[in-house]
Homo-oligomer: A and B are copies of this chain.
Amino acid sequence: MYSGGYAGRILRINLSNKTAKEEPLSEEMARDFIGGSGFGIKYLFDEVKPGTDPLGPDNKLIFAPGPFTGAGIPSASRMAVTGKSPLTGAVGMALSGGQFPAEMKFAGWDAIIIEGKADKPTYVAIKGKDVRFHNASHCWGTLTSDCQQIIKDELHDQNVRVCCIGPAGEHLSKIAGMINERRAVGRKGLGAVMGSKNLKAIAIRGTDPVDIASKEKYSTARTALLKAFKESPVLYSEFSQHGTPMVADLTGAMGVLPAKNWSETGEFVPVEGIGREAQATRKVGREHCHDCPVGCSQLKLAQTGEYAGILSEGPDFETVYSFGSGVGIDEIDPIVAADRLADELGLDSISAGVTISFAMELFERGILTLDETEGIDLRFGNDEAMIKVLRKIAYRDGLLGDLLADGSLAAAKKIGKGAEKYAMQIKGLELPGYDVRGLKGHGLGFATSYTGADHCRGYAFQEVFGVPVPWEVDRLAIENKGKLTIWNQDVRTATLDCAPMCAFLLDMAVPATACQNTASLMEAVTGLSFTPEEVLEAGERVNNLAKAFNVREGFTRADDTLPERLMTEPLKAGSSKGQVISRNDLDTMLDEYYSLRGWDVKTGTPTRAKLTALRLAYVADALGL
């Protein structure tokens, strides 16, 4: 039995009847799913029936930190939030850092399952085992920073940690997220799920420390990890100082920084205006997640014109793309402003930016008229228009706001006229800032990600940083990308999503030994002994289970695809000029991927044999395999 790390308790909150119930965490669950997204996807598959309306009372939200969260392990103040995504209809899972995840553990919970629907706006205040349901009618409509402050004041506790939705979640925008402090649970529309439940916020406070199974092993494992941090050539020297935006310079140089809704990648490369150096001019501070020495999160202050005085945590690289190059903006201040506004409104900054860039391309192509944009001159590069539309999306304001509030794919379907060609999304989720035409592994990764086009699922650091782990990789090659993608997906799932720990751990600190690192920490913190292979298998298990959820919802091989543009329009300029992933390329990669996964190559479905080998025979039953 585990003897540390885990609290051993799951909290189940039913909003319909205002009940809170404690359930034990079994060792089997801990062993097989570790925590984080593992717990979330397990509960999702087991408890959310096929065909459930993502915005109905039967959908659930599972907030799950992991065994290391709050245990003093650097980079582990993370949680996964899981539910059925209203944007994709597939598994919706998003990760967040900050202080909230650790506070969940201090309050004594390995996961909080939210189910049902409150009859009126509500927030839940959790203080250890004490759970209270508060009327939130007065908070309904508030921006996320104000909401957090109102709740802290009302609870007479400035140290309570609050995770809440903004107006976007209230208006059921399918690209709405949640915010805790200045950090987002951004993607897949989970903010709308919270809104559909009339749940404005969860406030949590705990005081009990997390137990450690073996102080001696803990000290050894933690020291080894900190040493790996220190030895990384980039972690403290670059990443702590510049955060994720340094990636804009890298991808810009590689010709894979998507621009103007992916129509001018390699041509429009505004790195001077929005890259590492430009960002540094706006930096006023750093923020550290709980017990993490890295502090990669940068506080930036806009300086010019009407944006002067706007502070944001970020923009992170993805936002530099979505509110910058992606919409044809080449200055930093509008990006900082849009980043803060998206956080205040509770909007996913990636999907919001990409949905706006989609509308901009339609506008420039005459598919959306000035009449349809309500007089907004929605051309690329118009930052004022971007800010206006951002607000409209959050409030579903006017026809345009309502049209875009459900993301680019839903909007394209409503618009018709061939608009779908310009919706840069996979399974409905807008693409992150890596043009896959010059990063083939990313193409396969995004296509097969169980959440859609997700930088946290489909990322291949080997292609961006050139790190030869577990082997040397040619970013432009099609060959062996199935094998690479599976390695990345399973290692990431186990070590980053389930543990959960921060992405840089894998990319920058322990690329070759991530599973060993997680295994050592598991033994030290929880007392459960794990081999690196068992860690990796947990990742594979979770990926199979997530895939099974999607299959049960009707997803097939045909959904594991890329936007048409990326398969038909080669890059026109830059270091990746001429590159494209043809339909044939993608199929080649998919065949390899499914085959190595042990899945049915034709349908892209996990087989009974594979599921059984992963101790998931009941899943095979559920799928009727």
Contacts and interface: CB of A to CB of B under 8 A. Distances in A.
A158 interface: yes
Interface string A149-167: 0101110001100000011
Interface string A282-300: 0011010000000000010
A345 interface: yes
A97 to B, nearest CB: 15
A116 to B, nearest CB: 25
Interface stretch (A140-148, A501-509, A518-526): A140-148
Interface stretch (A105-113, A211-219, A306-314, A373-381): A306-314
Given A309-B142, A311-B143, A311-B146, A287 B159 contact: no
B142 A311 contact: yes
B309 A150 contact: no
Given A158-B158, A308-B167, A309-B345, A145 B145 contact: yes
Interface string A387-409: 00001000100000000000000
A301 interface: yes
A303 interface: yes
A334 to B, nearest CB: 16
A303 to B, nearest CB: 7
A127 to B, nearest CB: 16
Contacts of A285: 138, 150, 154
Contacts of A143: 309-311
Contact of A158 (B159, B306, B308, B310): B159
Given A158-B158, A308-B167, A301 B141 contact: yes
A159 to B, nearest CB: 5
Interface string A123-144: 0000000000000001101110
A299 B150 contact: yes
A147 to B, nearest CB: 9
Contact of A284 (B138, B159, B166, B310): B138
A287 B153 contact: yes
Contacts of A391: 306
Interface in A448-506: none
A160 to B, nearest CB: 9
Contacts of A299: 138, 150
Contacts of A138: 284-285, 299, 301
A161 to B, nearest CB: 10
A303 B141 contact: yes
Q: Is the interface of A mostly helix, strand, loop or mixed?
A: mixed
A300 to B, nearest CB: 10
A133 to B, nearest CB: 18
B141 A309 contact: yes
Nearest to A157: B158
B153 A301 contact: no
A139 B139 CA distance: 28
Given A145-B145, A150-B299, A159-B158, A139 B284 contact: yes
The interface centre, meaning the residue of A154, A284, A299 with most chain B CB atoms within 10 A of its CB, is: A284
Contacts of A309: 141-143, 166-167, 344-345, 395
Nearest to A394: B309
- Tell which of A146, A158, A391 has the most Cβ of chain B within 10 Å: A146
Contacts of A153: 287
Contacts of A301: 138, 141-142
Contacts of A308: 141, 167, 395
Contacts of A146: 311
A138 B139 CA distance: 31
A139 B301 CA distance: 9
Q: Which among A159, A299, A309, A344 has the greatest number of chain B C-beta atoms within 10 A?
A: A309
A159 B157 CA distance: 9
A561 to B, nearest CB: 38
Interface string A414-432: 0000000000000000000
Interface in A297-340: 299, 301, 303, 306, 308-311
A145 B309 CA distance: 11
Contacts of A344: 309
Nearest to A305: B397
A297 to B, nearest CB: 11
Contacts of A145: 145
Nearest to A154: B285
A153 B154 CA distance: 20
Interface string A71-83: 0000000000000
Contacts of A142: 284, 301, 309, 311
Interface in A343-378: 344-345
A64 B617 CA distance: 72
Given A138-B285, A143-B311, 20 more contacts: A138-B299, A138-B301, A139-B284, A141-B284, A141-B301, A141-B303, A141-B309, A142-B284, A142-B309, A143-B309, A145-B145, A146-B311, A150-B285, A150-B311, A154-B285, A158-B158, A158-B159, A166-B309, A306-B391, A309-B344
Sorted nearest first, the 3 A-B pairs with minimum C-beta distance are A158-B158, A138-B284, A146-B311
23 contacts: A138-B284, A141-B284, A141-B308, A141-B309, A142-B284, A142-B301, A142-B309, A142-B311, A143-B309, A143-B311, A150-B284, A150-B285, A150-B299, A153-B287, A154-B285, A158-B158, A158-B159, A159-B159, A167-B309, A306-B391, A308-B395, A309-B345, A309-B395
